[in-house]
Amino acid sequence: MLLGERLQSGDVVLLMGELGAGKTTFVRGLAQGTGSRADVASPTFQLVRVYPGRVQLAHVDLYRVESSAELRDLGLEELADGGAVVVEWGDRLAVDGAARIHIEHLGGDRRLIRTEHDLGH
User: Is the model's pLDDT at 69 over the cut of 80?
Assistant: no
| pLDDT, average across residues 57-84 | 84
Beta bridge partners of 99: 13
User: In whole numbers, what is the pLDDT of the chain averaged over residues?
Assistant: 88
Q: Phi first, then psi: what are they for 2, rounded to 5°?
A: -65, -40
| Distance from C-alpha of 110 to C-alpha of 18, rounded to nearest angstrom | 14
Domain ranges of the chain: 2-93+104-115
Q: Write down the pLDDT at residue 1.
A: 59
CATH architecture of the domain covering 2-93+104-115? 3-Layer(aba) Sandwich (3.40)
pLDDT tens, position by position, 15-49: 999 998 999 999 999 999 999 999 998 877 788 99
pTM: predicted TM-score of the whole model, two decimal places: 0.88
- As a whole number, mean pLDDT of residues 85-106 equals 91
- 3-state SS, residue 29: helix
- Asked if 102 contacts 16 with a C-beta cutoff of 8 angstroms, the reply is yes
